[in-house]
C-alpha cells in the first residue's frame, strides 16, 4: 500500500477531551447549596432540588437547588440593596470588575468548555472554540462600554434591578450576553439559568467571587418555572430580559403588561438559508453544515430552511447528502465529533414527532446510513425535501438537526419564501454577486443577515429579531440601550374617558354643518358605521362632529398603510423634503390652527400660537433628521464588516394624547414618518378636530396615499383594535393606565413593539420628548455581515 492509499484508508480515531478536572469540580461542589444570593451560597428555602443529567449517557450529574418565590424575593432584595452603590460607582470601577471577570474566565476557559459540553451535549470543539471565547469577549468588550458610558450615552442611566432568564442551548454565552451589558451600565442582576444546564452558571458565580464583584450585584438562582414566574412578576424588578421560545415570550409580555417594566425578548426563529445559482456550492454546503447542524440544530437562528434556486437544486442536494454522510455523530467530548446528543429525552421526542408530522404532510425525509451511540439522546442529521411552504417543517421551529428544503425560480420568489414565516431572526444569502446579495438583504424580514456565511457573532454587533422572534437587541450599541433609561418629562395622569356621551350645547349662530370624515388611503371617507362623535369647545358649545371610527375602519386604514410601498421605499432625502413641505404648509395656516386650539382647549392666544409654532419646528426637526439618523459600520475581530442598517418598523399605530393635542400628535407621527414607517393614527379623543384640520395640509404636501391614515373615535376602543391587529408592527399610545396595560397584553398576537406612557402623558414641548429618543423607537436595526478576503 502506497502513501496515497494509506491516506485514503485512514479513519478517524477517538480524540477524547480529558474530563478529570470537570469531574473533580463536580465531586467537590455542594449542589444542594447552588443559589448564589447576596454573595453567599444558599440552599433553596423549600429544600427542593432538581436533577441535571449528561445528555450523552443520561447519567445523573448533580442534584441542584430548586429556587422558589421566596428565594427569588431574597435575590431581588440583595440586588436592590447593592444597586445604589454599584450604580453610583464610576465607569472605570465597573470596567475593572468586568475586565477581571473576563480574565478569570480566560484562566478557567477549558474547565468552562468541558462542563458546558458535559451538561449540554454540544461538541467540545464548539464550546471550546466558539462559546467560551465569545462569552469572554463580551465581558472584555463591555468593560470598554462601562468607561465610555457618559460620553456615548449622555442623559442615560442603568434601568435598575434586572431579571434575566436564559435557555439551555448556549448556557454560558447567553449568560454573558445578559450580564455583561447590565453590569456595564450599573444595573444589578438576578439571573435564572435553564434547569437542563445549570453547571457553567455555578462556575461563573464562583468566578464573580474571585473577580471582586460586590455582593448582591450578581445573583444567580437555579430553578424551574416557579422561579421564572417569580422573576417576571416581582415588583422590585425594573427590566426583564428573556431568551427562549416565542410561546413563553408571549406569556411574559402579557404578564408584564401595565407594569412599566422594560422588556427585551430574543425568541425563536425559522431562518432562511438562500442559495442563488451563481453561489460557490462547496462553500455554501460548508456554511449549511454550520448553519443547521451547529449545536445539533438547537439554535434559535439555525438556517433550518434551505431555499435553493431551481437550476442548481439537484447538484446542491447531492453535495449536501454527501457531506451529511460524513458528519460524525458521537461523544461530544470527542474532538472529531460533529453532532452530539440533543439536550434531553423530551427534546429528542419532540424532534421525532415533528419529523413524522412533516413526512405525513408530504415531505421526503432522508438520513445518512450511520449508527447512533447505544445510549444518550442522539438523532441523525435529517434532510427534508419536497417540502411545501405550509409544511410544519417549513413553519415550526424544530430545534433539532433537521433541514427543510424548497426551491425558487427568481429573486422575488426567494424573498417571498424567505419572509413566509411568523419569525424574523436571521437569514443567510449565498451569491458570488455581492450586488445581488446586498439587494436581497434589506428586503428580508430578519434582524441579522449573513452574506456568504452564517452564525457570525460578536459583542460589538447587535443580535435580535423582528416579528415573533422578539424585540430588543443583544450586543453592540443597540444592546446597551436595552439596559439604559432616559428620564422623559412626564405630563399629567391620563384619566379614562367617560363612557357615556356628554350633551353638547348647540353653537350660537347658523353655519354650514360639516362633519369631518376619516382619512384613509389618501382620501376622506365616511366611517363604516356611519356614526359621528360631537366635539365641544372649551365653553361646552358644539365645535363640530367627527366620524366615529370602528374596527372595520382600523382594518381599512391598516390595509392602506400596508399597501403604501412608495413611502418606506423612498430615500431618506425624499422623505425629508415631504416633511419640510408639510411644515411649510402648516406654517401657512398657523393662525387658523392657533384659533382652533384656543376654541377647543381654552388656551390663551399666546399659548396656542406657541404650540403651533413648536409643532412646525418639530416637523422641521424630523425633516432634518430623516437623512441623518443613520446606521453604523462595525468592524468585528474577523475578516468582515457588519452594516447596522436602520429600517422602519413597518405599520405603526399611534394613539395620541389629549394634552397639547396638536403638538403631541405631530411629535408622535413625524418621527415615525421620518424613518419610513406608515402610520395609522388615532388623534386626541377630546380634540380630534386639530387632526382632521390637517387633512388638507397632508393632501397638498405630497404625502403618498396611505403613508398616514387618521381614524377618529374612542381612543380606548381603537387602541385595543390596533393592539390585536397582526398586521400592525408597532404601537405607540398615550392613554389611561388601564388602556395601556390592556393594549400591551393584547399585543402578543404578533409580539408587536409597544411603547406606552403607562397612564401618563409627556411634556411634548420639552427637548427630551423629541429627537433620537423617538427615532430609536421608529426603527429596527438590521445587522448585515459582509465577509471579505479569500
Answer whether residue 500 shows pLDDT above 50.
no
pLDDT at 119: 97
Asked whether the beta carbons of 237 and 228 are under 8 A apart, the reply is no
DSSP 260-295: --EEEEE-----EEEE-TTS-HHHHHHHHHHHHHGG
Is the pLDDT confidence value at 82 over 60? yes
285-305: pLDDT as tens digits: 999 999 999 999 999 999 999
Mean pLDDT of 268-291: 96
CA-closest candidate to residue 245, choices 300, 305, 174: 300
Q: Which residues contact 37 (CB under 8 A, 6 or more apart)?
A: 71, 74, 75, 78, 219, 221
Tell me the per-residue pLDDT of 660-686, one tens digit each, with 9 for 90 and over: 999 999 999 999 999 999 999 999 999
Quick one: cell of 459? 459583542
| pLDDT tens digits along 5-16 | 777 777 777 888
pLDDT for 512 beyond 60: no
Closest CA to 732 of 668, 677, 647: 668
The answer, yes or no, to whether residue 509 has pLDDT greater than 60, is no
Separation CA 132–CA 173 (nearest Å): 7
Alpha-carbon distance of 267 to 247, in angstroms, equals 9
pTM of structure: 0.94
- Give the sheet arrangement for strand 262-266, strand by strand: 40-42, 35-37, 218-220, 188-192, 161-165, 239-243, 262-266, 470-471
Average pLDDT (651-655) is 98
Question: How large is the average pLDDT for residues 257-262?
Answer: 95
Mean pLDDT, range 400-409, rounded to an integer: 97
| Mean predicted confidence (pLDDT) in 365-392 | 95
pLDDT at 667: 97
pLDDT at 506: 66
Per-residue confidence (pLDDT) for residue 453, from 0 to 100: 95
| Residue 782 pLDDT greater than 50, yes or no | yes
| C-alpha 221: how far from chain center | 24
- What does the pLDDT look like over 17-50, one tens digit per residue? 999 999 999 999 999 999 999 999 999 999 999 9
- pLDDT more than 90, % of the chain: 91
| CB neighbour class for 637 (10 Å; exposed up to 12, middle 13-18, buried from 19) | exposed
Structure confidence by residue, pLDDT tens digits, 89-122: 999 999 999 999 999 999 999 999 999 999 999 9
pLDDT at residue 491, rounded to an integer: 82
**The three grid cell numbers given for residue 303, joined into one nine-digit string:** 438556517
Is pLDDT of 617 > 50? Answer: yes
SS3 247: helix
- Residues with a catalytic annotation lie at 266, 300
> How many Å from the N-terminal Cα to the C-terminal Cα in the chain?
36
Mean pLDDT of the 559-572 span: 97
- The confidence score (pLDDT) of residue 2 equals 82
Give the per-residue pLDDT at 505.
67
For residues 760 and 258, is the Cβ–Cβ distance under 8 A? Answer: no
Q: What band does 515 get if pLDDT is binned at 50, 70 and 90?
A: confident
pLDDT-derived band at 74, boundaries 50, 70, 90: very high
User: What is the enclosing helix (H) or strand (E) of 206?
Assistant: helix 199-210
**Residue 501: pLDDT over 60:** no
Mean pLDDT lowest among 150-154, 249-253, 779-783, 786-790: 786-790
The overall average pLDDT reported for the chain is: 95
pLDDT surpasses 70 at 495: yes
Q: Which of 512-521, 592-601, 763-772 shows the lowest mean pLDDT across its residues? A: 512-521
Cα separation, 19 vs 224, whole angstroms: 28
Instruction: Check pLDDT > 60 for residue 479.
Output: yes
Give me the mean pLDDT over the 329-344 stretch.
96
User: Contact at 8 Å (CB) between 418 and 754?
Assistant: no
Q: 129-138, 158-167, 312-321, 534-543: which has the minimum mean pLDDT? A: 534-543
> How does residue 508 score in pLDDT terms, banded at 50, 70 and 90?
low
Amino acid at each position: 500500500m502506497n502513501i496515497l492509499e494509506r491516506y485514503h484508508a485512514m479513519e478517524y480515531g477517538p480524540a477524547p477531551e480529558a474530563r478529570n478536572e470537570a469531574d473533580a469540580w463536580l465531586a467537590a461542589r455542594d449542589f444542594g447549596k447552588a443559589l448564589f444570593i447576596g454573595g453567599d451560597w444558599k440552599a433553596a428555602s423549600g429544600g427542593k432540588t432538581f436533577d441535571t443529567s449528561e445528555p450523552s449517557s443520561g447519567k445523573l450529574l448533580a442534584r441542584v437547588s430548586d429556587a422558589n418565590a421566596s428565594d427569588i424575593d431574597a435575590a431581588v432584595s440583595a440586588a436592590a440593596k447593592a444597586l445604589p452603590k454599584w450604580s453610583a460607582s464610576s465607569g472605570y470601577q465597573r470596567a475593572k470588575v468586568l475586565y477581571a471577570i473576563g480574565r478569570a474566565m480566560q484562566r478557567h476557559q477549558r474547565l468552562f468548555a468541558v462542563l458546558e459540553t458535559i451538561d449540554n451535549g454540544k461538541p467540545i470543539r464548539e464550546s471550546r472554540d466558539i462559546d467560551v471565547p465569545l462569552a469572554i469577549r463580551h465581558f472584555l468588550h463591555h468593560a470598554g462600554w462601562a468607561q465610555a458610558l457618559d460620553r456615548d450615552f449622555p442623559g442615560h442611566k442603568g434601568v435598575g434591578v434586572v431579571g434575566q432568564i436564559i435557555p439551555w442551548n448556549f448556557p454560558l454565552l447567553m449568560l454573558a450576553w445578559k450580564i455583561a451589558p447590565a453590569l456595564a451600565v450599573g444595573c444589578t442582576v438576578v439571573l435564572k439559568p435553564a434547569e437542563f444546564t445549570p453547571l457553567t452558571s455555578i462556575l461563573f458565580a464562583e468566578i464573580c467571587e474571585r473577580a471582586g464583584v460586590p455582593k448582591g450585584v450578581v445573583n444567580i438562582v437555579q430553578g424551574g418555572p416557579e422561579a421564572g414566574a417569580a422573576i417576571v412578576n416581582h415588583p422590585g424588578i425594573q427590566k426583564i430580559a428573556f431568551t427562549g421560545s416565542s410561546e413563553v415570550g408571549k406569556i411574559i409580555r402579557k404578564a408584564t403588561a401595565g407594569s412599566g417594566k422594560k422588556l427585551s425578548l430574543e425568541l425563536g426563529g425559522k431562518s432562511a438559508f438562500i442559495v442563488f445559482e451563481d453561489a460557490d456550492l462547496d462553500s455554501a454546503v460548508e456554511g449549511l453544515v454550520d448553519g443547521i447542524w451547529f449545536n445539533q440544530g438547537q439554535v434559535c437562528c439555525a438556517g433550518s430552511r434551505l431555499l435553493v434556486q431551481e437550476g442548481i437544486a439537484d447538484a446542491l442536494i447531492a453535495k449536501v447528502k454527501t457531506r451529511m454522510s460524513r458528519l460524525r455523530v458521537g461523544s461530544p467530548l470527542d474532538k472529531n465529533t460533529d453532532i452530539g446528543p440533543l439536550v434531553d429525552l423530551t427534546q429528542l421526542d419532540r424532534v421525532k414527532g415533528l419529523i413524522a408530522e412533516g413526512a405525513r404532510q408530504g415531505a421526503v425525509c432522508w438520513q445518512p446510513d450511520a449508527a447512533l451511540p447505544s445510549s444518550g439522546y442522539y438523532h441523525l442529521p435529517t434532510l427534508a425535501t419536497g417540502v411545501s411552504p405550509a409544511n410544519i417543517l417549513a413553519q415550526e421551529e424544530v430545534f433539532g438537526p433537521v433541514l427543510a428544503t424548497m426551491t425558487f425560480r427568481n429573486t422575488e420568489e426567494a424573498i417571498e419564501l424567505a419572509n413566509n414565516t411568523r419569525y424574523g431572526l436571521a437569514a443567510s444569502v449565498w451569491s458570488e454577486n455581492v450586488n445581488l446579495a446586498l439587494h436581497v438583504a434589506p428586503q428580508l424580514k430578519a434582524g441579522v443577515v449573513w452574506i456568504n456565511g452564517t452564525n457570525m457573532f460578536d459583542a460589538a454587533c447587535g443580535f435580535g429579531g423582528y416579528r415573533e422572534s422578539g424585540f430588543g437587541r443583544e450586543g453592540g450599541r443597540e444592546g446597551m440601550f436595552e439596559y439604559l433609561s432616559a428620564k422623559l418629562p412626564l405630563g399629567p395622569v391620563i384619566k379614562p374617558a367617560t363612557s357615556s356621551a356628554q350633551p353638547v350645547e348647540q353653537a350660537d349662530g347658523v353655519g354650514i354643518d360639516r362633519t369631518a370624515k376619516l382619512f384613509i388611503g389618501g382620501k376622506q371617507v365616511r366611517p363604516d358605521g356611519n356614526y359621528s362623535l360631537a366635539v365641544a369647545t372649551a365653553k361646552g358649545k358644539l365645535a363640530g362632529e367627527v366620524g366615529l371610527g370602528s374596527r372595520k375602519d382600523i382594518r381599512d386604514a391598516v390595509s392602506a398603510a400596508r399597501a403604501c410601498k412608495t413611502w418606506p421605499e423612498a430615500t431618506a432625502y425624499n422623505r425629508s423634503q415631504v416633511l419640510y413641505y408639510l411644515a411649510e404648509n402648516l406654517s401657512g395656516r398657523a393662525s387658523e390652527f392657533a384659533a382652533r386650539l384656543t376654541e377647543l382647549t381654552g388656551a390663551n392666544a399666546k399659548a396656542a400660537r406657541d404650540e403651533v409654532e413648536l409643532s412646525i419646528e418639530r416637523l422641521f426637526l424630523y425633516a432634518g433628521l430623516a437623512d441623518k439618523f443613520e446606521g453604523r459600520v462595525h468592524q468585528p475581530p474577523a475578516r468582515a464588516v457588519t452594516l447596522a442598517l436602520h429600517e422602519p418598523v413597518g405599520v405603526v399605530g399611534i394613539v395620541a394624547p389629549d394634552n397639547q393635542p396638536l403638538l403631541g400628535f405631530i411629535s408622535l407621527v413625524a418621527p415615525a414618518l421620518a424613518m419610513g414607517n406608515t402610520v395609522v393614527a388615532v388623534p386626541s379623543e377630546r380634540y380630534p378636530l386639530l387632526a382632521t384640520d390637517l387633512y388638507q395640509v397632508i393632501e397638498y404636501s405630497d404625502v403618498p396615499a396611505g403613508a398616514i391614515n387618521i381614524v377618529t373615535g374612542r381612543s380606548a376602543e381603537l387602541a385595543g383594535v390596533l393592539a390585536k391587529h397582526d398586521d400592525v408592527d408597532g404601537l405607540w399610545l398615550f392613554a389611561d393606565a388601564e388602556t395601556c396595560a390592556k393594549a400591551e397584553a393584547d399585543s402578543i398576537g404578533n409580539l408587536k413593539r409597544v411603547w406606552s406612557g403607562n397612564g401618563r402623558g409627556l411634556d411634548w414641548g420639552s427637548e427630551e420628548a423629541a429627537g433620537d429618543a423617538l427615532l430609536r423607537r421608529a426603527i429596527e436595526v438590521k445587522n448585515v455581515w459582509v465577509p471579505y478576503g479569500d
